[in-house]
A = this chain, B = another copy of it.
Amino acid sequence: MARTTEGDLAPHELRILVAVADSGGFSSAAQALGLTQSAVSHSVRGSEGKIGVVLFERGRGGARPTPAGEKAVTHARRVLRLLDVLAAEARGAARAAGADGVGPEAAGPLRIAAFRSAALHLLPPVLQRLRARCPGIEPQVRIVREVGRGTAGEVADGRADIALATLDGSTPLPAGVVAHGLLEEEYALVHPAGRGDPRSLPLVDWVENCGSYTRAWWAAQDWIPKATVEAEDDGAVLSLVSSGHGMAIMPALSLMGAPHSVEITDLGPERPTRRIGYVTTPELAGSAVVRALVRELRAVGTRSTAVAR
């Protein structure tokens, strides 16, 4: 008799599944984990035996997850994270036995995914407060471009615990995550200082800038820019503008710390805005570390929503 169910997958087996999915092959997964290709092959075969299902299609280019494999890898990431949380919260509970709520006892690594301007201008004060209040938390910030599934995708795939993301209604959230709004960020016009009418300059745009926020505003204007040039990211846009090569409509966070060679003008009461929020997984939303960060985000984020350097 071929026993179909043999037992649960051990953490190291889960890690191997995740590594194979991430790296796209047994050999590269082995390298990433500091193991042998053979060990990975044996382990995956063993996991498949335990579940009773083929998890990866092996081929010339490596290994690709089957539908069952996709499910398994997604869950594997969550289980691994939950194991981390288990240890971290148990340690925290031991430190401050009895004290309830999110206090200094929250501890452990906290993986944050953020788009560039949030990581540069929104997170620093938040993390400073967090460090002061919960010294046991070790925040790890990873900058992710807000393209494709963006920062929220990192959370959905288990690569981050919480993401700072732009929440527009048009692009739907990945499945299995929850989002909450933090602040409404205002757009402003930025152009070279002391150069007269910025309308004569080309508009500089960048890939991550989601047009849906500003489209309505443009439609209400009685002029359109003569030309549009595309830059790598919002930092490059600002650099282009400051050197006099164009003007741009940029969100407040991207304009923090802008050089004095640019002028920032308010777009008036009808200015476009975009919604910034955080995204996390439901099972992490209740964990002490995530709750601690969210509290600081709320405390800091409610101010400084307007344009200011």
Contact = CB atoms under 8 A, between A and B. Distances in A.
Interface stretch (A78-86, A120-128, A262-270, A293-301): A78-86
A256 interface: no
Nearest to A177: B286
A94 interface: yes
A180 interface: no
- Copies of this protein, total: 2
Which of A55, A68, A178 has the largest number of chain B CB atoms within 10 A?
A68
Contact of A89 (B66, B71, B80, B91): B71
A279 interface: no
A32 interface: no
Given A11-B7, A86-B76, A87-B5, A94 B53 contact: yes
A147 to B, nearest CB: 22
A175 interface: yes
B53 A72 contact: no
Interface residues of A, number: 47
A91 B51 contact: yes
Interface in A78-114: 78-80, 82-87, 89-94, 97-98
A119 interface: no
B283 A82 contact: yes
A63 interface: no
A9 interface: yes
Contacts of A89: 71-72, 75
Contacts of A91: 51-53, 68
Contact of A176 (B75, B93, B286): B286
Contacts of A90: 51, 53, 55, 68-69, 71-72, 75
Given A55-B90, A66-B97, 19 more contacts: A7-B11, A8-B11, A8-B84, A8-B87, A10-B11, A51-B86, A51-B87, A53-B94, A54-B94, A66-B94, A68-B91, A71-B89, A71-B90, A75-B85, A75-B86, A76-B86, A78-B283, A79-B83, A282-B282
11 contacts: A8-B80, A9-B83, A10-B11, A70-B93, A71-B89, A72-B87, A72-B90, A75-B86, A75-B90, A175-B286, A282-B282
